[in-house]
Amino acid sequence: MAPSIWQLLIVLVIIVLIFGTKRLRNIGSDLGSAVKGFKKSSSDDEQDQSAKKELPEDRKDN
Protein backbone atom coordinates (compact mmCIF):
# COMPACT_ATOMS: atom_id res chain seq x y z
CA MET A 1 0.00 0.00 0.00
CA ALA A 2 1.60 3.22 -1.18
CA PRO A 3 1.49 6.32 1.01
CA SER A 4 -0.94 9.02 -0.08
CA ILE A 5 0.06 12.56 -0.99
CA TRP A 6 -1.23 13.82 2.38
CA GLN A 7 0.97 11.39 4.30
CA LEU A 8 4.00 12.48 2.29
CA LEU A 9 3.22 16.15 2.92
CA ILE A 10 2.90 15.56 6.66
CA VAL A 11 6.25 13.77 6.73
CA LEU A 12 7.83 16.61 4.72
CA VAL A 13 6.47 19.24 7.13
CA ILE A 14 7.79 17.30 10.13
CA ILE A 15 11.24 17.00 8.52
CA VAL A 16 11.33 20.73 7.77
CA LEU A 17 10.30 21.53 11.35
CA ILE A 18 12.99 19.24 12.78
CA PHE A 19 15.92 20.22 10.56
CA GLY A 20 14.97 23.67 9.26
CA THR A 21 15.18 24.85 5.68
CA LYS A 22 18.76 26.15 5.93
CA ARG A 23 20.14 22.83 7.16
CA LEU A 24 18.18 20.89 4.52
CA ARG A 25 19.55 23.20 1.83
CA ASN A 26 23.11 22.58 3.10
CA ILE A 27 22.54 18.82 3.14
CA GLY A 28 21.18 18.98 -0.42
CA SER A 29 24.13 20.97 -1.71
CA ASP A 30 26.61 18.66 0.04
CA LEU A 31 24.90 15.62 -1.45
CA GLY A 32 24.91 17.23 -4.91
CA SER A 33 28.62 18.00 -4.63
CA ALA A 34 29.35 14.43 -3.59
CA VAL A 35 27.43 13.00 -6.56
CA LYS A 36 29.15 15.43 -8.93
CA GLY A 37 32.58 14.44 -7.60
CA PHE A 38 31.73 10.74 -7.88
CA LYS A 39 30.63 11.14 -11.51
CA LYS A 40 33.78 13.13 -12.35
CA SER A 41 35.96 10.49 -10.72
CA SER A 42 34.17 7.69 -12.57
CA SER A 43 34.55 9.39 -15.93
CA ASP A 44 38.23 10.14 -15.26
CA ASP A 45 38.82 6.48 -14.40
CA GLU A 46 37.09 5.35 -17.60
CA GLN A 47 39.23 7.76 -19.65
CA ASP A 48 42.41 6.45 -17.98
CA GLN A 49 41.48 2.84 -18.74
CA SER A 50 40.61 3.62 -22.36
CA ALA A 51 43.93 5.45 -22.74
CA LYS A 52 45.79 2.40 -21.39
CA LYS A 53 44.05 0.16 -23.92
CA GLU A 54 45.26 2.36 -26.76
CA LEU A 55 48.93 2.03 -25.77
CA PRO A 56 51.03 -0.58 -27.56
CA GLU A 57 51.77 -3.80 -25.62
CA ASP A 58 55.44 -2.93 -24.91
CA ARG A 59 54.55 0.47 -23.36
CA LYS A 60 51.94 -0.81 -20.86
CA ASP A 61 54.60 -1.75 -18.30
CA ASN A 62 55.68 1.88 -17.77
DSSP per-residue letters across 37-58: HHHHHHHHHHHHHHHHHHS-GG
This prediction has a pTM of 0.53
Instruction: Note the pLDDT tens digit of each residue in 8-61.
Output: 999 999 999 998 989 989 999 999 999 999 999 888 877 777 777 766 655 555
pLDDT at 60: 54
pLDDT at 61: 53
Domains (ranges, CATH) in the chain?
5-51 (1.20.5.3310)
CA dihedral 14, 19, 21, 27 (to 10 degrees): -120
pLDDT at 44: 81
pLDDT at 47: 76
pLDDT at 33: 94
3 state DSSP class of 60:
coil
